[in-house]
Amino acid sequence: MQNVLIHKARELRPETRAAVEAELGRSLQDGEEVSIMAFVQHEAPTGEARAETASNLQQHLNRIDQKTKSGPEEETEKALNEAIRNVRPGYRERE
C-alpha cells in the first residue's frame, strides 16, 4: 500500500487539484509539486521513552553545534538563511 504520493500540479486530476487548492487557499502553479502523505497517528512517548528521545535529540544537536563552532559565525548564518529560503521562498531576513 502506498503512503506517499508526489505529483506535479499539472498532472493532477481537475477535482484533485481543486481540492488541494481549496485546502491551501491559493491556486497551484503547473510546475509545483504536490505531496500527499498518509500515516497512522500514534501517541507521543511518555515517561522513560520520552526522556530517552529528548536526550538523543539533545546529543544530536550538541554534535551539530560542535561541528559549526569551528566555522565563522557569518558563514554559518549565511548557510542557515540559504536553507530557510530554499524551504520558505517568501522568507526575508531580519534587517
**Predicted local distance difference test score (pLDDT) of residue 70:** 79
**15/78 Cα distance (integer angstroms):** 41
User: The C-alpha cell of 57 is what?
Assistant: 535529540
Torsion sign across C-alpha atoms 75, 54, 35, 92: negative
Q: Are strands 4-8 and 33-37 parallel, antiparallel or unpaired?
A: antiparallel
Cα–Cα distance, 34 to 28 (Å, whole number)? 9
pLDDT for 56 beyond 80: yes
Locate the domains of the chain by residue range.
1-41, 43-89
Contact 77, 41 (CB under 8 A): no
The mean pLDDT value for 72-81 works out to 85
SS3 89: coil
pTM: 0.47
